[in-house]
Amino acid sequence: MFVERLVVGPYQTNCYIMGNEETSSAWIIDPGNEGSQIIKAIENHNIKPVAVLLTHTHWDHITALGELKERWPHLEVLVSEEDSHYLGSQAYERFCETCFDKSFLQRYEKALKAMSEATGFLTDNQFLQDSHLLVMHTPGHTKGGLCLYHEQSQFVFTGDTLFAGSIGRTDLDGGSYEEIVKSCKRLLKLPTEVQVLPGHGPATTIGDEQNNPYL
């Protein structure tokens, strides 16, 4: 199993490609923007994407979804049910009500209006057999925020829940400081050597985040 990080879009979002070279399969985590770059990276590895896994559905983590579905119509789109209302045909209208960055909405209006529906929902403690990822419900940044833990390879995708030396903001729709602290403390129970792969910024480890000043 390998993981490639792509930094995409004006929010410098970390999109991850997790690939299994033995099965030539891939999973895309948080395709925030620049769909052509994501497609090129996958094709360079000569692997076939199976699903898009969304840690949450803020605009800067999903904007390339339409391009990916156009390239690979078979792609599953998996997310928590709580966050799924920002996908599909009503996504743009809902973002217009809650997104503070109106320039982003104007610039990416076409992509957000072409947003795919979720094809399935992820739930807490669900184990994804194909990718060997454990789903962890970690609300706080959004109500349906998720982290994805790969025990065998000792890494966890934390979206906008836990960062290197910081945590996700809680002042947006569905945010809760109390909930995100609880979610981060759950993550900190993972082995100290687990690599933390966040939605923005550099990677860290669970051990390093034991002294996170926000916790």
What tens digit of pLDDT does each residue of 33-84 get?
999 999 999 999 999 999 999 999 999 999 999 999 999 999 999 999 999 9
Query: Whole-prediction pTM value?
Result: 0.97
Beta carbons of 161 and 81 less than 8 angstroms apart: no
Beta carbons of 170 and 141 less than 8 angstroms apart: yes
The span from the CA of 36 to the CA of 40, in Å, is 6
Q: Could you tell me the pLDDT band of residue 118, with boundaries at 50, 70 and 90?
A: very high
The set of residues, in sequence order, having a beta carbon less than 8 Å from that of 152 and lying 6+ positions away, is 1, 132
Name the pairing type of β-strands 155-159 and 195-198. parallel
One of 3.40.30.10, 3.40.50.720, 1.10.20.10, 3.60.15.10 is the CATH number of 2-211, namely 3.60.15.10
pLDDT for the residue 170? 97
Beta carbons of 138 and 145 less than 8 angstroms apart: yes
Q: Could you tell me the pLDDT band of residue 175, with boundaries at 50, 70 and 90?
A: very high
**Cα 120–Cα 132–Cα 42 angle in degrees, nearest 5:** 75
For residue 146, list its beta bridge partners.
Answer: 137
The residues spanned by each domain of the chain are 2-211
pLDDT for the residue 193? 98
pLDDT for the residue 69? 96
Among residues of the chain, what percentage have pLDDT more than 70?
Answer: 100
Q: What is the mean pLDDT of residues 22-39?
A: 97
pLDDT for the residue 149? 98
